[in-house]
Structure 1
Amino acid sequence: MRLVYPPICAGCGIMTGDHAALCAVCWQSVRFIERPYCEITGAPFDHDRGEGLVSPEAIARPPAYGKARAAVFYDGVARKIAQGLKYSDRADLAEMMAAWMVRAGRDVIDDSDVIIAVPLHRRRLFSRHYNQSAELARAVARLSGKRFLPAGLHRVRATERQVGLGLRARQDNVRGAFRTPETQKARLFGVRILLVDDVLTTGATVEAATRALKRGGAGEVNVLTFARVARSGEETLYA
């Protein structure tokens, strides 16, 4: 199989020692998110403001979720990897991406009982063949030993793409788009949930999903994504 499908760098395509890996040059270009950052939203600070500090945005507009964490900034090689998983049928990348997520989100993983992915609407799922967030959630669950609930949340309304929309428009777009199935409510009642998505932009999608889970009886909901944009509202291809 290695003769037919030799391992190549997920970033630039040169030969590497393993599949779904990065060469040294691409690895050095990835911007991993490290402290200091807001303990609630995970938004990085430009300088160290002290342990446990919360951003003014999180104080003024507390999110529905408890904490959010992300592994990398959504740019360069990391952006290419995220788009490869989402649009190019590169499901093989999920394991590598999930390993980075587990490293970045150990605190929210430890505080969770089960893992749930942000779902796709069935029409979009049919066109893409799989849900990239579910692939990440499944891999995170496998690496962390947590339970993955693939049916814990449904997307009951097809939404428009979020590209070009401001925060308020994004919020309106996903309002009422998610619902906890009646058959899952007893299983989720009071449970601490880790909600997994691929990219965090403004947070509108994970906020809507969090509210749906809490209406369904879930306890605390934390968020873990592979990447986040450097600035809130920065344009991406992601819904």
Structure 2
Amino acid sequence: MQTAIGQALHLIYPPQCLSCDALVTTDFGLCGACWRDTPFIAGLTCDKCGAPLPGETNAGSSPECCDDCLTVPRPWHQGRAALLYRDNGRRLVLALKHGDRQDLARPAAIWLARAARPILTPDMLIAPVPLHWRRLLTRRFNQAALISAALSRELALDHCPDLLSRTRRTPSQEGRDRDDRFSNLAEALAPHPRRGARARGRHVLLVDDVMTSGATLSAAAEACRSAGARAVSVLALARVVKD
């Protein structure tokens, strides 16, 4: 019955590309042109942040790290990202974040599940990087929470959307250098007074839409560790990398 209904709906409302109006064969898909313009991360990646590295994947080798993660200590165990933050990857992130394209959370979760496969553990607790409540009122939703909720359903893992909270409203990170970004986020995130205890003894998988310097995810990871998390890993929909 569901298959017949689905086929009927596809006849009436043919699936469209997530990024443009072109018709596609499946829901939550990209047309050929948009797929080619979407920089999915594949091959050898940094074990800490998921940035692509020169070379090919070698499951038997020791983990590799990018220059940023060799320079800046990361308070988390492992990390991955699904896309590079450029071209159609950037457009998709901005459409979700500022264009009210909440429908992009589900395909984003599918892409993230694929990227996260090497770092997943059965007992992981998925949690998003939080927004300050004032910003949440303005934006109406936390894009990281939408993605993390869809990811938890995709992976059948526990989810805690309010594991962490913002203790103060921080100015935008836009235009700041690395040191300013870390200083701006210092002590800005903390375990939620009522939910933070869920991190104790767990491996927490933190989810955010974009990783640039890693300052936000570092503050979130430190908050998880202060709540007693056994380990913390991170996952970003898109990773900003130097050209």
197-206 vs 111-120, which moves further: 111-120
Q: Quick one: which of 187, 203, 206 aligns to 1:195?
A: 206
CA contact (8 A) 1:73 1:229 kept: yes
Equivalents in 2 of 1:48, 1:21: separation in Å?
Answer: 27
Q: Secondary structure at the match of 2:73?
A: coil
Partner of residue 30 from structure 2, selected from 22, 26, 37: 22
Correspondence 1:35 to 2:35: no
- CA root-mean-square deviation: 2.2
1:105-144, aligned counterparts within 5 Å? 105-110=116-121, 112-144=123-155
**8 A contact 2:164–2:196 mirrored in 1:** no
CA drift of 1:31 comes to 1.7
Match of 1:177 in 2: 188
Q: Closer, same or farther in 2 for the Cα pair 1:77/1:147, shift >3 Å?
A: same
Q: CA 1:142–1:39 in structure 2 vs 1: closer, same or farther (change >3 Å)?
A: same
Q: In 2 relative to 1, CA 49–17 (structure 1 residues): closer, same or farther, beyond 3 Å? A: closer
- SS where residue 195 of structure 2 aligns? helix
How many residue pairs align between the two structures? 232
- Decide which of 11, 20, 32 is 2:19's aligned counterpart: 11
TM-score (norm 1): 0.89
Say whether the 8 Å CA contact 2:50–2:239 is kept in structure 1. Answer: no
Q: Secondary structure at the match of 1:165?
A: coil
Secondary structure of the residue aligned to 1:84 is helix
Greater shift in the superposed pair: 135-144 or 11-20: 11-20
Superposition pairs of residues 77-156 of structure 1, within 5 angstroms = 77-110=88-121, 112-156=123-167
Report the CA distance shift for 1:60/1:77 in structure 2 as closer, same or farther (over 3 A). closer
Return the alpha-carbon distance in structure 2 between the equivalents of residues 161 and 19 of structure 1.
35
CA distance, structure 2, for counterparts of residue 202 and residue 112 of structure 1: 28
Q: Secondary structure at the match of 2:207?
A: strand
Q: For 1:111 and 1:76, how far apart are their aligned partners in 2?
A: 34
1:157 to partner: Cα distance: 0.9
CA distances 1:87-131 after superposition (whole Å, capped 9, x unpaired): 111111110011000001112232652100001111111111110
> Equivalents in 2 of 1:76, 1:186: separation in Å?
40
Contact 1:112–1:194 (CA under 8 A) maintained in structure 2: no
Q: CA deviation at 1:11?
A: 1.8
Give the aligned residue type for 2:38. V
C-alpha deviation, 1:187, in angstroms = 2.2
Which residue pairs with 1:237 in the alignment? none
CA-to-partner distance for each residue in 1:166-224, whole Å, 9 max, x for gaps?
Answer: 00000111111111023234322111100000111110100011111111211210001
Q: CA deviation at 1:49?
A: 9.2
Structure 2: 5+ residue runs without aligned partners? Answer: 1-8
8 Å Cα contact 2:19/2:30 also seen in 1: yes
CA distance in 1, matches of 2:90, 2:67: 28
- 2: CA distance, partners of 1:56 / 1:81: 27
Deviating 4+ runs (over 6 angstroms): 1-5
Q: Which amino acid aligns with 1:170?
A: R
Asked whether the equivalents of residues 122 and 157 of structure 2 are also in contact (C-alpha less than 8 Å), the reply is no
- Identical aligned residues as a percent: 35
1:226 to 237, 240, 243: 237
Structure 2: distance between partners of 1:32 and 1:38: 14
Which one has a bigger Cα radius of gyration? 2
Residues 1:53 and 2:61 aligned together: no
C-alpha deviations, 1:14-37, integer Å up to 9, x for none?
233444321111112222112312
Q: What's the secondary structure of 1:92's corresponding residue?
A: helix
Partners of 2:49 and 2:81 within 8 A in 1: no
Aligned-pair CA distance for 1:8? 2.5
3-state secondary structure, aligned to 1:115: strand
